[in-house]
A and B are shown apart, each in its own frame.
Chain A
Amino acid sequence: MSKPKVGFFGLTSCAGDQLMVLNCEDELLKIAGEFEICEFTMAISGHYDGNLDVAFVEGIVAHEKDLKTLEDVRKRSKILVAFGTCAAYGGLPSMEGKFDFNASLKKVYGEETDFLKKLGTRRASPIDRFVKVDFVLPGCPVERDEFLITLASLRKGTLPEFFRRPLCCECKEKENVCLITEEGEVCCGPLTNSGCGARCPSLGSPCAGCRGPLEEIHFDAKAKVYETMGMPLEKVVEKMKNFSAPAWVVSGMEGK
């Protein structure tokens, strides 16, 4: 079997997911040995325009160049992976979904925004708004273990099946006391994808929702809980929207 051809692409992002790949120091040589890494925005200079077996795409579409890159990568790739919460759900850059786009532009860049028009600056969006996504690896950044499991599966000619439960399950398996019921914190655990081992709540910090919303989220229940805790509902929505604003818009929850 020939080595699968893979590429790592960074659209507008902090490049944290690509950095996570480079942080797999113990496995890097094995990765390089078993895959042909054709492109890597952060680690390889030069350009490759042949076909790929797998493309890992990090970041959001924030301007026309992002979109061109994304569409080009899609055309050349058999499997396209939304790599990290930005690509999958919009992530932190899409937080602006909570504000008025043009007003935000002016606030940041002042009155001279013509150059932004030339760049084709647009409202930040996750990649599934433009192209078909075959697989999602959420996380801010992506979990190292989940990335390596994905590579191992790809090497076997398949994609892994991650069992996504509400984060609460991993939190309870760690025997943490609930930060919602016991501490009155705004914790996004019940709405968020598991897979991080409830890292933040295990350290006493409520879940920020960085792994994005579960396939089925239950907004009304969440609303009721926080009402009884005497917390304004907007606070919860705002917190969830930090990492996944566009996903909430699609779910029809934006106005609530």
Chain B
Amino acid sequence: MLVRSAPPEILETLFSRLSGTGKVYGPVRQGKAVRFLPLSSISDAELSYQRTVLPPKKFFLPPGETLLTFAGRGEWRVPDEEDERIVLFGLHPCDLHGIEILTVFMSDAVPDSPFLRRREKAFIVGLSCLPDDKCFCRSMGCQTSEKGFDIFITLLGDRVLLRAGSPEGYRLLRMLDGEAREPSREDRERLLNFHRLRNESFTLSLDITDLPEVLDLEEESQVWEELGNRCFTCGNCSIVCPTCSCFNVVDIPSFASGETKRVRTWDSCLFRSYALVAGGHNFREKRAQRVKNRYYHKQKGFVEGFGKPSCVGCGRCISSCPAGIDVVSVFKRLTEAYAK
């Protein structure tokens, strides 16, 4: 599809075009945290950010979302649909993959209509990035994205490349023709150099070629027990994971109105209550079983079901674990044990 080259000032033009179509959210630095927040101008966005605390799943599967409201027998209503279009500006390739994985998952079996409705309405602008010591997206094949964006921006110093990823993105790029042009030979060289630099900058990597098979063999590995002793099962990794989508549904009655809201809350398979069933039986009673389950789901179960892991290598679980557990070392230890 269409690729255009322009000076960085084009981002201002792009922003004003986008803000005419919906509310624009992008990465904003607040103290030590970077969060996707509403942007009032392009200068609010931190274009060189590393990772936000929460991934963009919060826009499609908001925590504490009201699914329906009921007052009595047979009387219930779903919340009004949000009319406003949202524009997500500045998403890194790992997050684009995260949204794609969630969309596939949420479309499967019983389609999740609130999620899919929001996804359909979102215009997504991707943004290039360089890895830090917690990024391992390249190992997951998520360092670049071929879909899941309308426009993708690659920052190349005093030039930016804008790549269309959808008919709507194509139309928008066409409107910028006055300020943008066909990429020159020099632009192409710069892009290749950028790709090289990005690929050489990874310090963390994980070979997942035979991982599902290794996991089949290492079900009883001591690694799980040790991990169970170290993990708080606090749920931080699930909350910040771009592809963790498990939720609990609770009814919250209002004393003032007499109505009850049915709300879905982010949940985690790491919690004891998650596998608790009627009669008090818990099919993942031990912490080690629950930690293991999360790892197996990402690198085995999802591969079996959907052909690829549901990990995008964004590094959020590493940076947010208060027990200092990192997924790459865990799998490396397993593969080493297997090799012995």
Contact = CB atoms under 8 A, between A and B. Distances in A.
Interface of A: 26-27, 30-31, 148-149, 151-153, 155-156, 160-166, 168-169, 172-173, 175-178, 180-182, 189-191, 215-216, 218, 220-222, 224-225, 228
Given A176-B33, A177-B53, A190 B322 contact: yes
A224 B54 contact: no
Interface stretch (B113-121, B199-207, B248-256, B302-310): B248-256
Most buried by A among B54, B248, B268, B324: B324
B287 interface: yes
A215 B272 contact: yes
A173 B234 contact: no
Contact of B320 (A153, A161, A178): A178
A225 B240 CA distance: 20
Interface stretch (B125-133, B167-175, B224-232): B224-232
Contact of B234 (A161, A176, A190): A190
A225 B319 CA distance: 14
A179 B46 CA distance: 23
B178 interface: no
A152 B253 contact: yes
Given A165-B271, A172-B240, A173-B63, A216 B254 contact: no
B143 interface: no
Among all A-B residue pairs, the 8 with the closest Cβ atoms:
A152-B253, A190-B234, A152-B255, A175-B53, A148-B255, A172-B239, A190-B232, A166-B234
B288 to A, nearest CB: 11
Given A149-B252, A156-B253, A168 B323 contact: no
B272 A168 contact: no
19 contacts: A148-B254, A148-B256, A149-B252, A152-B254, A153-B253, A156-B253, A163-B267, A168-B322, A169-B236, A172-B53, A172-B54, A172-B239, A172-B240, A173-B63, A173-B64, A175-B53, A181-B320, A215-B272, A221-B229
Contact of A168 (B53, B229, B235): B235
Most buried by B among A168, A175, A190, A225: A175
